[in-house]
Amino acid sequence: MNKELNTKKFKVELKLVILSFSTLRFWRTIMAVMIGSLIFSVALNGILIPHNYYSAGVSGVSLVIYYFSGWPSIGIIYFLINIPIFVFGWREISFNYTITSLIGVFIFTFALEVTSGIVIPTHDNIMAAVLAGVLTGFGTGFYLRMGGSAGGLDIVAMIFKKRFSIPMGTTFITINVIPLTAAALLFSLDTALYTGIYMYINSIVVEKVQTGFSQRKAVFIISDVAEIIAEKVIKQIDRGVTFFHASGGWTHNEQKVIYTVINMRELGRLKQLLFDTDPNAFVAISNTAEVIGKSFLTWEDEGFIKHSS
């Protein structure tokens, strides 16, 4: 019975993947992966390898093997490492994400091969680390923002996050200890430190490019005209709101607290709306790590699969 359900489920998911091939979103994602992978590969081959620096994630582990073994192809090493990752993770993530990631691995491998031998003439070690971090961070953040994936540590981190609620950043940091240690042992402590600078710049740029002005903000609003503000948020900003019923700690008056989630582009409009409607409103704004729900990420985007009962 379970075998029949799994076969039926696979056919449905395969059909959805095939249908996605005809959508503009799919090809836009693939194009983003191509551009991002090319930028990353130019930085890896042109800066990291000439300076004996390491990279983050699976590309960093690939460089460890490349430096120790002397294999002529970093691209092939990257591809081979991804094979067990896909074997381990294909049941844990959606079939659509698996196919997109697999295509991304082929694209990234090809990009590493065609850019092999490129050298970017940077002679200052710190400037090389900074430039490499900016380029690789931009390349990675660009395709991640468009929903793309080049396999590697993205899949491992997503599985650990789904199974054990381990933040993706924690997985990245843990794995990145490997290339940093290898850099110190194989070359020098200075090389490891320069690699650390590169990784730090890379992580910042990835975050900034991936979120950009789409960084989500959670907003709590306390006002005597909560109903009017909520209506304006819904109509003028096109965001949903939720009311929490609360009472003042000093006055003990019952009132409604508005809760909404917006992005950075909408924050200025919301502030202007609040100033025009109720300048005395109390507003608390905080960053949100993730938002799953209507108008934001879906469970499928997070790699969760809906199983048939």
- Same structural domain, 183 and 64: yes
> What is the rounded average pLDDT of the residues 194-212?
83
Residue 300 has pLDDT above 70, yes or no: no
Higher per-residue pLDDT: 31 or 173: 31
* Ramachandran angles phi, psi of 261, nearest 5°: -125, 130
Residue 50 lies in a domain: yes
- Same structural domain, 155 and 171: yes
Residue 306 lies in a domain: no
Lowest-pLDDT choice from 2-6, 76-80, 207-211, 240-244: 2-6
Q: Quick: pLDDT tens for 283-298.
A: 999 987 677 776 666 6
Q: What's the pTM value of the predicted model, to 2 decimals?
A: 0.69
Residue 27 lies in a domain: yes
| Interatomic CA distance for residues 65 and 198, integer angstroms | 19
| Interatomic CA distance for residues 303 and 94, integer angstroms | 5
> What is the rounded average pLDDT of the residues 98-102?
81
| Interatomic CA distance for residues 233 and 260, integer angstroms | 9
> Which of the listed residues 213, 245, 263 is the one where a domain comes to its end?
213
Residue 63 has pLDDT above 80, yes or no: yes
Single-letter code of the amino acid located at 195 = T
How, if at all, do strands 282-287 and 242-247 pair? unpaired
Residue 303 lies in a domain: no
Q: The CATH number of the domain where 272 resides is what?
A: 3.30.70.120
- Same structural domain, 171 and 111: yes
- Same structural domain, 206 and 70: yes
Name the residue among 152, 123, 124 with its Cα closest to residue 136. 152
Residue 309 has pLDDT above 50, yes or no: no
Average pLDDT taken over every residue of the chain: 81
| pLDDT computed for residue 304 by the predictor | 56
Q: Quick: pLDDT tens for 253-272.
A: 888 899 999 877 788 889 98
- Same structural domain, 207 and 258: no
| Interatomic CA distance for residues 258 and 217, integer angstroms | 14
> What is the rounded average pLDDT of the residues 228-245?
89
| pLDDT computed for residue 134 by the predictor | 94
| Interatomic CA distance for residues 205 and 141, integer angstroms | 7
CA atoms within 13 A on the CB side of 262: 23
Q: Is 229 left (phi over 0), alpha (psi -120 to 50) or beta?
A: alpha
**Residue 64 pLDDT grade (very low, low, confident, very high; cuts 50, 70, 90):** confident
Single-letter code of the amino acid located at 79 = F
Angle of helix 189-211 relative to helix 168-186, nearest 10 degrees?
A: 150
Residue 223 has pLDDT above 80, yes or no: yes
- Same structural domain, 65 and 170: yes
| pLDDT computed for residue 10 by the predictor | 58
Query: What is the number of structural domains in the chain?
Result: 2
> What is the rounded average pLDDT of the residues 109-131?
91
226: containing domain: 215-287
